[in-house]
């Protein structure tokens, strides 16, 4: 903990001072020069600091730019998805999740609860695996082949339920199916009795950076019935992706005069019984 505190002190110091040499950092923080060298070297190795080859001074690294960009993008995604999440929830009467890619996992950043009483694992800020959640699989499926290989090379395929896919071959087949369909299905793979369908969100560069899912209790609503909402889900995700700056070159006549997806016509909300069948 002491080392961690010293690392934060170095970062804060360099936030206030554009560049500082090693001895200056050690003197200002009351550290031995050897300790300061060890900590700054570790920060440099991870991209949080960079050292000027000529002046030998340290400054904050580009990693902070990447982190700031990631935070801003995620905030923008949640904001732009608010209306779509609300619409899906009103029509389906099921729980809607928004999750974003974070390293090699997904993190839930927004959730609209179903009126049906049910306890779920998910909550805003909760981290979930890629390989067995609808949001995770729908994000993973649309990454580049090299990135998928890299992720699966270090991704433990932990078995959460009897339905979890735990082999690389099985997961690769599943990802190929998701790319063909345009959406993912979770068949009790992460939590017993819960299923979902999920579709990806793309940013201005066409990268899949997030996903929205519709989650239901499977002894009340069958997977086939849940999949009946796929067209609405796909249309909603296309609209949100457009808000994020994505322009689909394959959209063709499906877009309006300015390349914007045509307005989504949502069917009236169905009356759903609150009794479990």
Domain final position from 61, 80, 112: 61
For residues 85-103, give the mean pLDDT.
93
Helix (H, G, I), strand (E, B) or coil at 200: strand
Looking at the structure of the chain, the number of domains it has is 2
Residues 48 and 109 in one domain: no
Strands 49-51 and 57-60 turn out to be antiparallel
pLDDT tens profile 147-190? 999 888 878 899 999 999 999 999 999 999 999 999 999 999 99
Answer yes or no: is 242 within a domain.
Answer: yes
CATH number, domain of 108, equals 3.30.450.40
pLDDT tens profile 63-83? 887 777 677 666 689 899 999
pLDDT tens profile 20-74? 999 999 999 999 999 999 999 999 999 999 999 899 999 999 888 777 767 766 6
Q: State how far the Cα of 214 lies from the Cα of 197, in Å rounded to an integer.
A: 5
pLDDT at 267: 45
Residues 147 and 74 in one domain: yes
- Residue whose C-alpha is closest to residue 39's, from 16, 10, 66, 78: 10
Residues 74 and 201 in one domain: yes
Residues 133 and 227 in one domain: yes
Chain Cα centroid distance, residue 264: 24
What percent of the chain shows pLDDT beyond 90? 64
Answer yes or no: is 164 within a domain.
Answer: yes
pLDDT at 153: 84
Q: Note down the domain range covering 32.
A: 2-61
Report residue 262's pLDDT band, with 50, 70 and 90 as the boundaries.
Answer: very low
Cα dist from 7 to 15, 21, 32, 45, whole Å: 12, 15, 14, 13
Residues 38 and 115 in one domain: no
């Amino acid at each position: 903990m002491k080392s961690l505190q010293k690392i934060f002190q170095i970062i804060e110091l360099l936030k206030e001072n554009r560049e500082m040499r090693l001895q200056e950092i050690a003197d200002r923080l009351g550290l031995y020069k050897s300790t300061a060298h060890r900590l700054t070297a570790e920060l440099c190795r991870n991209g949080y600091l960079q050292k000027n080859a000529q002046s030998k001074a340290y400054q904050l690294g580009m990693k902070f730019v990447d982190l700031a960009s990631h935070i801003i993008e995620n905030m923008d995604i949640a904001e732009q998805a608010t209306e779509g999440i609300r619409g899906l929830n009103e029509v389906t009467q099921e729980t809607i999740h928004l999750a974003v890619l974070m390293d090699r996992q997904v993190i839930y950043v927004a959730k609209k609860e179903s009126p049906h009483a049910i306890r779920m694992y998910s909550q805003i800020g909760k981290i979930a695996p890629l390989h067995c959640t609808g949001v995770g699989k729908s994000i993973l499926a649309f990454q580049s082949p090299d990135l998928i290989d890299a992720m699966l090379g270090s991704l433990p395929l932990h078995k959460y339920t009897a339905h979890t896919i735990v082999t690389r071959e099985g997961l690769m087949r599943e990802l190929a199916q998701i790319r063909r369909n345009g959406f993912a299905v979770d068949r009790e793979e992460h939590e017993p009795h819960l299923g979902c369908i999920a579709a990806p969100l793309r940013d201005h560069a066409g990268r899949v950076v997030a996903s929205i899912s519709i989650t239901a209790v499977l002894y009340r609503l069958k997977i086939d019935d849940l999949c009946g909402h796929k067209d609405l889900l796909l249309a909603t995700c296309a609209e949100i992706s457009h808000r994020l700056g994505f322009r689909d070159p394959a959209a063709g006549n499906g877009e309006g005069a300015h390349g914007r997806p045509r307005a989504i016509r949502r069917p009236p909300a169905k009356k759903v019984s609150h009794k479990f069948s």
